[in-house]
Amino acid sequence: MKTGYTTKITAIILLMAVLTPLLHSCRKVDDNEQLVASQPWFADTYNLEGRYGIAEWSYPRMLVIGDTAMLIGKFFTEKPGSEILIGGVPVKITEHITLDPGNKYNTGGLPLQQMDLIRFVVTKEMGTGARRDITAVANGVRQLGKQVSIQAFAATTNGTDSTLTVTEIGSWEPADQQLFLTRGYSYIRSSHVDMSGNLLFDNILGLYMLRNKHVKTVMKAGDVLKDDKGADFTVTYVLGSALSFDGAFMYISLSTKENTPDANEYYTFRLLKMDVASGVITTINRTPVIKGRAAVSNDGRPYTGQISQLKIVTTDLNLDINNNLFYANHYAPEDKANGHEAWYIFSTYGSFNSLQTVCRMGTGGEVRVLMKNWTSEYNSPGEPVAVSMYTLDPAGRYIYAFKTPEGLNTYAIRFDVEEEDVLNTLANFSYTFTFRSFEKDPALKNTSPVEWYGDYTSMEWNPRLVLSDGTLLNANTASLKAFDFDNMSVYCYAGSELGLAGGTEKQDQVTGKAKWVNFYDMSFNGTDKNNAVYFCRGMEVSGLAHNLRFYRMAPAGK
């Protein structure tokens, strides 16, 4: 008995010794399968069969801020702690569905699973650039997807797009047209478009927002406003405005009337920042300008520094994509020989006897001078230019302005903001650019050189617009010219190629297919994130009652 019992125990021990590694091995396999099954993953393609207007979905290579994007894969969205991050920022899922619940899919040898489709809005917090990480987090596992490019603007065609279509999106006319006509006020002084296509415009008597074909008055002359510090003031004139590309805020330049002890002795100007959602106003700068002669003359220093410490009267406001503010400063320094009554009459149009500088304010409020009027009597820094009006590249990298005029001829320049250097100088009516033709119809094909036209006297009406790819549009003929300063080439952006010179009888439309629209009598307003171009007609004072009409030009269906 003893021997048999010992043998049985020994056999059991030996059997356990053999089975124990196998049990551990099975547990490792089970654990590994469970780990693999709990991993999130991204799909590369999926046939949506027309859902969301998409036939074959592919993993995105580029995202545009403000767009609704889509990702497909296994994300375990139902489990706590699961999330998708782009640029380290969690996405806010606006829609989630399980694709084809009856089917299961795999990728890279993972177990078969049902797939998730999520939709979300691309935000500026995710950052911009060529390599932004996309990460899926679930069940304690982080899975990195393919990097994507995030841009503020959609890609451009860099050529004539035959599908461009012009549609009217709204109109406006002043309540008192006679006042505008008798005083010669323009219906529009400046305008800006945000990423969603909302259009801000102003004139000397008001500030307005065009949204969904409806124009709303933001403020007008005579309105009493209060800023965040509780200061009250009345709007006398609107000198300019600028809208951030995300549509979150705007800058506004005003001539104001204020109940202060020195109100009878000084004109007062304010640069404001307004939060669009709340309407809260912050005074960025308040500058008084003496009406009469001063006891002592000065030259308006300091020219640079914090915006709150400078003397500024701002017009021609523009914001770049990074929210740096550009403006022209028409402050009139104190003068013991002359008063400023005449200056004030013309101050809203960029008058004489003032600094007439072009400045850039960074997001921290630091100001530097980039350009100055070459005839200015004041010794401010900056590149000498013919006038203080300019055209800004959306990225804030380049400014297009004009050098010293020679008779009727002027020189256009492209100015590098960071390097503070002139990169290109072009004589007016020159044929420096090589023409690129995209016209397939020989009867409409342009075979002649295309001239550069840059008359600075027309700058008030915004005949130039810089697209997100740096192409500069110029409107001085029936068709729009697109100038590429990097490659010194030009092509027809919209209209017919024949319209770049003499035009064609067919090109007589106002809306519809852009090829047949006459663009001669128009002014640019801006572009949205999809590079749709906004423009208007009717801004001039004709002596007859009329309205201001706004248009959007984009590929058909977009």
Label residue 13 by pLDDT band (50, 70, 90): very low
Question: Which residues of the chain are in CATH 2.120.10 domains?
Answer: 188-404
Q: Is the pLDDT of residue 436 over 70?
A: yes
Domain ranges in the chain with CATH number 2.60.40: 41-151
Identify whether the C-beta of residue 234 lies closer than 8 Å to the C-beta of residue 201. no
Per-residue pLDDT, averaged over 431-443, amounts to 88
Q: Are 291 and 261 in contact (CB under 8 A)?
A: no
pLDDT at residue 6 greater than cutoff 50: no
Give residue 346's pLDDT: 62
Instruction: Quickly count: other Cβ atoms within 10 Å of residue 156's Cβ.
Output: 16
pLDDT band at 24 (very low <50, low <70, confident <90, very high): very low
Q: Which of 258-262, 263-267, 479-483 has the highest average model confidence (pLDDT)?
A: 479-483
DSSP state at residue 495: S
Give 493-520 pLDDT, tens digit per residue.
Answer: 999 998 887 766 788 999 999 999 999 8
Query: Is residue 135 over pLDDT 80?
Result: yes
Integer Rg of the chain from CA: 31
CATH 2.60.40 applies to domain 41-151: yes
Identify the top-confidence range among 112-116, 181-185, 264-268, 460-464.
264-268
Res 5: pLDDT: 38
Dump pLDDT digits (tens) for 344-367: 866 544 455 788 899 999 999 999
Alpha-carbon distance 482 to 438, whole Å? 12
Question: For all residues of the chain together, what is the average pLDDT?
Answer: 84
Of residues 9 and 17, more confidently modeled:
17
Fold of 188-404: Neuraminidase (2.120.10)
Please list the residues that pair with 524 across neighbouring strands: 535
Highest mean pLDDT: which range of 317-326, 346-355, 425-434, 538-547 = 317-326
Looking at residue 11, its pLDDT comes to: 40
With a cut of 70, say whether residue 97 has pLDDT above it.
yes
How many other CB atoms sit within 10 Å of the CB of residue 170?
Answer: 18
Q: What is the predicted pLDDT for the residue at 29?
A: 39
168 against 426, higher pLDDT: 168
Q: What is the pLDDT of residue 473?
A: 93
Which residues are paired to 474 by β-bridges? 464, 481
**In which band, very low, low, confident or very high, does the pLDDT at 10 lie, cut at 50, 70 and 90?**
very low
- Calculate the alpha carbon distances from 123 to 85, 87, 120, 419 in Å: 12, 10, 9, 30
pLDDT in tens, 370-396: 999 887 788 889 998 876 678 999 999
Residue 3: is its pLDDT beyond 60?
Answer: no
DSSP letter at 126 equals: G
Token digits of residue 425: 């100088």
When pLDDT is averaged across residues 138-151 and rounded to a whole number, the result is 90
Alpha-carbon torsion angle 236, 242, 244, 247, nearest 10: 60
Would you state the pLDDT for residue 142?
93
For residue 514, which phi and psi values (nearest 5 degrees)? Answer: -60, -25
Each residue of 245-254: pLDDT tens digit?
999 999 999 9
